[in-house]
Structure 1
Amino acid sequence: MFSEITSKNNDQLKYLRKLSSKSFRDSEETFAIEGTKLFLEAVKNDLPFKQIFITKEWLENNAGLNSDYVIALAEKNVTVMMVTALILSTVSSLQKPEGIIGILPKVCVTPGIFKRYVLLEDVQDPYNVGTIIRTADAAGFDCVVTSARTADIYNEKVLRGSMGSVFHLPIYQAESLLDYVKQLKNQPITIIGTSLTGSSLWERENLTGSFAMVMGNESQGMSDEMSKCCDILLKIPIFGQAESLNVATAAGIIMYDLIRDFK
């Protein structure tokens, strides 16, 4: 049922390695996921796998439902390749590979109208982006919109950081996040920014309608142009000696505080 790869120089493995490059992912409209958790999340969300690489050890350790998923996909003409753990380690991004990697087409997302948005302006650390997406999913936000300079959501670190949440809610990359925000303001949707010059989060007024929360770059924060577009600027009060919070931590605090108005 499964084909076998015996050389690390196999063309399909070479293709898989190239998917670590954003430009190649963009040109191929394809990305890779690694690990059992992401594999199961993709299966549960009915994503169309193009190819799967697995080790014998993974099949043995996941006998039952998980391995049945792989068999079911193979029966649907998804190419499943059996590789040794040593060969898989040559294409893995993990220090301890779990034994399964999948290749999928990118998810096509078109802009929609939602009630609760998270907007990321040039957040560049992949783990921060993944964590924010995961928190937005947990807090019940409807979508995430990123700027062109925000870390690619198909980066392996973003995918791992999100723990599968990239498959749970729409994520859209805007060519110009600033123009996108201006369009939101016309709907109208309240734009909430984060700034050290903003009002304290603890003293804000309750929200009653649709809103979009903007998080800026790790070191620079929001751009001046984006700040001018915001209807509200908020800051998290700091009571200790730390000068600032990590952007993903700050995003989580603000998201859960804002969402209280609707629960």
Structure 2
Amino acid sequence: MFLEITSKNNDQLKYLRKLSSKSFRDTEAAFTIEGTKLFLEAVKKQLLFKQVFITKEWLEINVGTVNDYLIALASNGVSVTIVSPAILSSVSSLQKPEGIICILPKIIVPSGTFKRYVLLEDVQDPYNVGTIIRTADAAGFDCVVTSAKTADVYNEKVLRGSMGSVFHLPIYQVESLLDYVQQLKKQSITIIGTSLTGSSIWEREPLNGSFAIVMGNESKGMSHEMSECCDQLLKIPIWGQAESLNVATAAGIIMYDLVRDFK
């Protein structure tokens, strides 16, 4: 039932390698995931699959967990292909590949109106973006919206950092985050920015409606234009000698502090 590839120069593997490029992912409207956890999360969310590459060794270790899923995918026309560990390593982004790489079509996210937004303005480190998405999911936020210069949500490091949370809540990338914020303000959604010039989160007024929290670039913070759009600016007090907090750490502290108002 499963096919087998024995050459590293196979056209399917060449296509898989090209998907490491954002421009090629955008053109093909496809992306890749690696590892057992992301595979199981994608199956659980009933996402579409285009192709699956596995090693015999991985299948033997996980057969009791994954075999029925793989058979179901193959029965539905998805190509499930067995490759050697050496071939999988040649297309993997991991130093120690787990034994499975999948190609999926990009997720179509319907537009909607939400109560709790996380907005990322030019957050460029993929692991930071993935961690913020994971925390937003855990804290009960409704969606994440990113600027055009924020790390691509389909970057393999973002996907791994999110630990599957990219499949749990809507994520949008917009050309102009400023324009998006202006639209939110017209819907009476409170825009909360993060800035060293803001008020302490421990002294803020309680929230009583829909809101969006904006996290800025790792080194520059929010842009001046974005700060001007915010209804309030908050900061996390630093009592030690560190100059600042990592943006993903700061986002987690602020997100959990804000949602306390509704628990």
What TM bracket, shorter-length normalisation?
A: over 0.9
Structure 2 match to 1:179: 179
Question: What is the Cα deviation at residue 175 of structure 1?
Answer: 1.1
Q: Which amino acid aligns with 1:248?
A: A
Distance 1:68 1:116 in 2: 37
Distance 1:225 1:91 in 2: 42
What per-residue deviation string (whole Å, max 9, x for no partner) do you get for residues 63-105 of structure 1? 2132221111111111001000111000001111000000000
Consecutive unaligned residues in structure 1, runs of 5 or more: none
Structure 2 match to 1:81: 81
Distance 2:107 2:253 in 1: 29
Q: Which amino acid aligns with 1:120?
A: L
Structure 2 match to 1:53: 53
Q: Is the 8 A contact 1:55 1:84 kept in 2?
A: yes
Distance 1:67 1:245 in 2: 44
Structure 2 match to 1:28: 28
Distance 1:260 1:66 in 2: 39
Q: Is the 8 A contact 1:133 1:144 kept in 2?
A: yes
Q: Is the 8 A contact 1:110 1:172 kept in 2?
A: no
Give yes or no for the alignment of 1:243 onto 2:243.
Answer: yes
Indicate the percent of aligned positions where both proteins have the same amino acid: 82
Structure 2 match to 1:42: 42
Distance 2:131 2:9 in 1: 34
Distance 1:105 1:260 in 2: 36
Question: What is the Cα deviation at residue 166 of structure 1?
Answer: 0.3
SS of the equivalent of 2:93 reads coil
What per-residue deviation string (whole Å, max 9, x for no partner) do you get for residues 165-194 of structure 1? 000000001110000000000001000000
Question: What is the Cα deviation at residue 220 of structure 1?
Answer: 0.3
Give the structure-2-normalised TM-score: 0.99
Distance 2:63 2:114 in 1: 41
Question: What is the Cα deviation at residue 110 of structure 1?
Answer: 3.5
Distance 1:226 1:195 in 2: 11
Question: What is the Cα deviation at residue 109 of structure 1?
Answer: 1.7
Distance 2:244 2:143 in 1: 26
SS of the equivalent of 1:144 reads strand
What per-residue deviation string (whole Å, max 9, x for no partner) do you get for residues 101-148 of structure 1? 000000112431000000000000000000000000000000000000
Structure 2 match to 1:150: 150
Distance 1:15 1:3 in 2: 17
Distance 1:242 1:207 in 2: 29
Structure 2 match to 1:194: 194
Q: Is the 8 A contact 1:192 1:232 kept in 2?
A: yes
SS of the equivalent of 2:91 reads coil
Structure 2 match to 1:107: 107
SS of the equivalent of 1:175 reads coil
Deviates more, 1:139-148 or 1:105-114: 105-114
Distance 2:75 2:101 in 1: 18
Structure 1 match to 2:208: 208
Consecutive unaligned residues in structure 2, runs of 5 or more: none
Give yes or no for the alignment of 1:96 onto 2:96.
Answer: yes
What per-residue deviation string (whole Å, max 9, x for no partner) do you get for residues 26-64 of structure 1? 000000000000000000000010000000001100021
Q: Which amino acid aligns with 1:238?
A: I
Structure 2 match to 1:68: 68
Distance 2:177 2:111 in 1: 12
Structure 2 match to 1:164: 164
Moved over 4 A (4+): none
